[in-house]
Amino acid sequence: MSLAEQMDTVTDAAAGTVDRHATTQTFESTAPTTGAVVGVFPVHDEAAVGETVARARTAAEQWAALGWDGRKQRLSAYRGYLARRMHELADLVYRENGKPHADAILEITLAVDHLAWAAGHARKTLGLRKVASGMLAANHAAYLEYQPLGVIGVIGPWNYPVFTPMGSIAYALAAGNAVVFKPSEHTPAVGAWLAAAWRAAVPDVPDAFQVVTGNGSTGAALCRVPVDKLAFTGSAATGKKVMAACAETLTPVLMELGGKDAMIVDDDADVVAAADAAVWGAMSNGGQTCIGIERVYATSAVYDRFVAEVTAQVQKLRPGSDGEATYGPMTMSSQIDIVRRHVADAAAAGARVVTGGTDPDAVPAEGYVAPTVLLDVPEDSSAITEETFGPTLTITRVRDAEEALERANATSYGLAGAVFSASKDRAMDLARRMRSGMTSVNSVLTFASVPALPFGGVGESGFGRIHGEDGLKEFTRAKAITRQRVALPVNLMSFGRPEKAADALARVMGMVHGRHR
């Protein structure tokens, strides 16, 4: 089947999911590499979103009733379906997002791995279990389980259109919820493909995972409907609007927002490896990575060698749209203005632009940003304080790793970061004191590929966690149950308790706890 035919199928499939409602408005998704139309999708209004969520409510009951084994088997079928069609999905990601095919394959691989982990660990993490009853309720059995919330709304961005939303979708489904997903208006075809794949792989509960398409107004409708929890991934500015809308219905929210991640390069670091990781962390996917490295703080001992190595490596990068390109165009053309502003602000404040910059001759065509390395950028410059989200890297000389940590932490964001040091203890200490949700030592972004590790930020990078046990629990409510096993002769929680019972209890407490000072 040709790609055009595949796209027709995808668009039809999307219509199958969501166009059982009469929606008049449509929008086009276009390829950032060529401007060609990738697909035409409905703009779902509040009524359409409401109908989709209502169907999801019915499906949530069917899905929950399947039990752990039934859900695991269907999530495995879905994972298998994605794994068998990886190239097809990667082609679509390339067309709609612009990233190289190999990067798309990597992204899909991560998503499939997370699906497997979430399905495989849901029962152990969330299922009914007994916990210690404690002294006061020794005659009772105590139980804990994590129950699904119902319907989870997922609003996603365009930069990792498979991996990022799947961090919420896979874990929410594995926990027993139904999901309604609103993909970014820049990548609706990928979202529609994922939902169509679900219907094909899990035909007996097709509405457990559905998609609605549209721009911010469709996302806002999903907040108002309401759903039982809203998992949002996107910018901090939109996250604030989502929280405000969800506050109206007391809908809980998960916020996966932007970042300004830093790398610390210590005196004893492997400078070549650190430079390689910094260049990949900053420039892959055109720098459009929430956990991408945007700032490096290198100690005086390694700074010159590090800058020389980064410069040499960056000169080998080639933005473009062919099979040899290292990264593609900016997915959203409006982002180019932000990147240019940050580079221009830095240059105006005295920074040195050692590669790239805003020179239009340095890129193959409009829509691309050259790999840009900035030195000596003042700490109050927008290239240091705001999320740039482009293939840029600032490198700053610092006295030592302590100063590097202080500067790394001096940001309103706190998503992730990296430490390069040969000393395990030193690196671990720096990593633990880095104010971020995730840090990798002697590599970049690795935590995202470890399904057992939670993923999320602090400060303006958001709150709540996807991935790992925390990610499963995020889409549940804890349910506590006690069951009286035997009745005691004296029941303290009864108006019939003897008068002296309180004195006896105080004496016992004095003996057990009173000796602690």
Find the binder of ligand NAD among 30, 76, 215, 449 (CB under 6 A).
215
| Residue 372 · residue 356 · CB < 8 Å | yes
Alpha carbon separation from 400 to 373, 404, 412 (Å, rounded): 21, 6, 22
Complex with ligand NAD: residue 155 or 373, whichever CB lies closer: 155
- Type of residue numbered 152: I
Cis amide leading into 226 (omega within 30): yes
In 3D, which of 184, 240, 260, 146 has the Cα closest to residue 30? 184
Alpha carbon separation from 262 to 55, 95, 395, 401, 434 (Å, rounded): 44, 31, 10, 12, 9
Interaction between residue 45 and ligand NAD (CB under 6 A): no
Q: Provide the β-strand partners of residue 210.
A: 180
Find the binder of ligand NAD among 98, 226, 234, 319 (CB under 6 A).
234
Interaction between residue 158 and ligand NAD (CB under 6 A): yes
Q: Which of 96, 256, 387, 469 is catalytic?
A: 256
In 3D, which of 145, 142, 141, 143 has the Cα closest to residue 123? 145
| Residue 181 · residue 211 · CB < 8 Å | yes
Window of 74-82, 129-137, 179-187, 261-269 that interacts with ligand NAD by CB under 6 A: 179-187
Interaction between residue 235 and ligand NAD (CB under 6 A): yes
> Hunting for tokens 């829509």 — which residue is that?
367
Q: Which of 223, 246, 290, 387 is catalytic?
A: 290
CB 221 to ligand NAD: min, Å: 8
Window of 211-219, 260-268, 417-425, 487-495 that interacts with ligand NAD by CB under 6 A: 211-219
Alpha carbon separation from 380 to 166, 261, 370, 383 (Å, rounded): 36, 16, 23, 8
Residue nearest to ligand NAD (CB): 219
Residues between 283 and 312 that touch ligand NAD (CB under 6 A): 290
Interaction between residue 42 and ligand NAD (CB under 6 A): no
DSSP letter, residue 28: E
Find the binder of ligand NAD among 256, 261, 345, 469 (CB under 6 A).
256
Interaction between residue 460 and ligand NAD (CB under 6 A): no
Complex with ligand NAD: residue 219 or 269, whichever CB lies closer: 219
Interaction between residue 219 and ligand NAD (CB under 6 A): yes
Alpha carbon separation from 292 to 173, 239, 387, 437 (Å, rounded): 28, 19, 10, 14
Window of 25-33, 137-145, 151-159, 478-486 that interacts with ligand NAD by CB under 6 A: 151-159
Find the binder of ligand NAD among 45, 103, 113, 185 (CB under 6 A).
185
Interaction between residue 164 and ligand NAD (CB under 6 A): yes
* Dihedral pair phi/psi, residue 254, rounded to 5°: -115, 130
Complex with ligand NAD: residue 397 or 435, whichever CB lies closer: 435
Residues between 331 and 370 that touch ligand NAD (CB under 6 A): none
290 is catalytic: yes
Distance, in Å, from the CA atom of 395 to the CA atom of 191, rounded to the nearest integer, reads 37
Residues carrying an active site annotation: 256, 290
